[in-house]
């Protein structure tokens, strides 16, 4: 008898719970919101929405559209403190690599260099988050997203944009990719799992 691989079971459960594409739509909306508000006085608003509103909104939509089709499973949640330390640790490493690179190139005090390569930094940060999502789910589409995020970040850094326009454009491009992909996955999900008619108490359909 083959022993149970709890890690693989957890990955499968996480993958199945996110097969509706709604998480991708949420990420895409947030990226576009960041791009639309970047540099303005309300640029912190998308972050607050991401923390307090979108998780509840996502759960509400899934309660109505997803769970009636595939059921509901309560997934193991990583410790918030451990997750936060991991995210900040990755961010610190990414920033340190950028600063060291600029130091070696003699551009440490060159503000234009930071603006130019900000899309690449965004791509690296998305790369980390998407690799984490892949490690949790085993879904290969997160690897594709990670590749696109890195390539897009490098491309918008190489192209000549004024100020942070390259970063803003990158937010919109990646956001659009996530939204279009998420909506496509959601439509296919609805077709694959049509909602079953539920029996009422008196036995009528």
Residue 38 has a pLDDT of 87
- Which residues span the domain enclosing 92? 6-192
Rounded distance, CA 157 to CA 117, Å?
Answer: 5
Q: Consecutive sets of 10 residues in the chain, 205 residues long: mean pLDDT of each? A: 64 84 93 88 77 86 88 65 75 87 86 91 92 88 95 93 91 96 95 66 43
8 A C-beta contact, residue 141 and residue 184: no
Residue 199 has a pLDDT of 39
Tokens at residue 55, please? 């998780």
Residue 196 has a pLDDT of 64
Q: Let me know if residue 89 belongs to a domain.
A: yes
Q: Let me know if residue 198 belongs to a domain.
A: no
Q: Let me know if residue 203 belongs to a domain.
A: no
Tokens at residue 188, please? 């296919």
Q: Let me know if residue 55 belongs to a domain.
A: yes
| CB neighbour list of residue 177: distance below 8 Å, 6 or more residues apart | 28, 145, 148
Closest Cα partner for 177 from 47, 66, 51, 32?
32
Q: Let me know if residue 160 belongs to a domain.
A: yes
Q: Would you call 110 helix, strand, or coil by DSSP?
A: coil
Rounded distance, CA 27 to CA 118, Å?
Answer: 19
Q: Let me know if residue 140 belongs to a domain.
A: yes
Residue 156 has a pLDDT of 95
Query: How many domains does one find in the chain?
Result: 1
Residue 198 has a pLDDT of 46
């Amino acid at each position: 008898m083959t022993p149970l691989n709890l890690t693989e079971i957890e990955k499968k459960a996480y993958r199945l719970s996110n097969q509706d594409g709604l998480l991708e739509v949420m990420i895409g909306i947030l990226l576009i919101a960041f791009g639309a508000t970047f540099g303005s006085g309300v640029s912190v608003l998308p972050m607050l929405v991401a923390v307090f509103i979108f998780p509840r909104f996502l759960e509400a939509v899934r309660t109505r559209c997803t769970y009636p089709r595939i059921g509901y499973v309560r997934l193991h949640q990583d410790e918030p403190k451990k997750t936060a330390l991991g995210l900040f640790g990755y961010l610190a490493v990414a920033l340190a690599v950028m600063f060291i690179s600029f130091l070696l190139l003699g551009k440490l005090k060159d503000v234009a260099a930071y603006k130019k390569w900000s899309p690449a930094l965004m791509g690296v940060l998305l790369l980390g988050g998407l690799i984490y999502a892949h490690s949790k789910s085993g879904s290969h589409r997160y690897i594709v997203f990670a590749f696109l995020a890195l390539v897009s970040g490098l491309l918008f850094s190489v192209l000549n944009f004024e100020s942070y326009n390259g970063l803003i454009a990158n937010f919109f491009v990646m956001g659009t990719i996530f939204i279009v992909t998420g909506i496509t996955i959601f439509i296919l999900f609805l077709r694959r799992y049509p909602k079953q008619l539920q029996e009422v108490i008196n036995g009528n359909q």
